[in-house]
Structure 1
Amino acid sequence: MKNLSNITLSLAVLSVFALSSSQAMAEHGKISGSAALSYSKQEASAAPSAKGHMLVSGELTGSNKNTGGTDFMSDANVDNREVGQLFQGNGPHTGYYTMSKDGNTTTALWKGDVSTVLADDGSPRTSFKGTWEYVAGTGKYSGIQGKGKYNGYFTSKTTYTVDWNGEYSLK
């Protein structure tokens, strides 16, 4: 009888641990969004004696709009910091994309490539694409993990649109 009570108690304790473990990974899923961003600071520096080579940096702000049907950071403020090493408008770029809402933040490190082509009218058309991965979160997003892809295009010299998608999980 004592063994049956011990087994019952052990099963009850294991059930509690299993339930709390499944709740620890309770939030996860696919996410996607889009943001129209504007430069608040934009700098370009030509490389001396290397025609067409530029080092560019910028700070942008905007608002995230979800496109995947979830409520993840819907209408969050966006702060994007970027640097690029370009030759005639083409080359690698990288930065940090931070979304903030209600005292919670997520920060992703992103890396990709910029591509510039001339349109029929002779004006440049610049687009970009790459990958991102979460490196930090605060508030309810503390410990966030996830990664995905992004792509975007310039709508003027001082604005661009970026679309992103991926997956995330919270422990």
Structure 2
Amino acid sequence: MDHFTAAGTSTTPPVRTGPRDPGDAWVEGSRGRFWGRFGAAGVLAFDPAKGVLLQHRAIWSHNGGTWGLPGGALHQHEDPVTGALREANEEAAVPADGVDVLFTSVLDLDYWAYTTVVVLVREPFDPVISDPESIELQWVPVAGVENKELHPGFAAAWPGLRERLPSRPGA
């Protein structure tokens, strides 16, 4: 497993210095409270040689301390694939031009939706923690994902996502 760690694990979110995007807000409804006024999306990067890229979420974030996917709130009028690739690049340096979209999976709660964009890594890369939302980034073998303390939403989605990943020996 390749590990990429941040310097600190503060329990306090960083002070925002720039303008907020209108999508950066909580949405509440009958099934709970979720981040992203226009929905949210994340990237499940699959590298057949390394496994999947997981993000150890900052302690101060929603479900902090768990493992999930780089991603976040969509911008207004942004399609989920574009938003997921933007967020994954911002949070983990996932290069949009070095991956191929395999499929998407959508959790739609009527008032909020989360899209998982599953990509095949075409050009291997080392992820880079470039914002305070990650404690660590790690390539995890497919068979080892369940051994992590997963974000509840990702934990629920993982069996179906795993089933749809391309087959390879030892995966």
* TM-score normalised by length of structure 1: 0.29
Which structure has the larger Rg? Answer: 1
- Of Structure 1 and Structure 2, which has the larger fraction of its residues in strand? 1
- Which gives a bigger RCO, structure 1 or 2 (Cα 8 Å, sep 6+)? 2
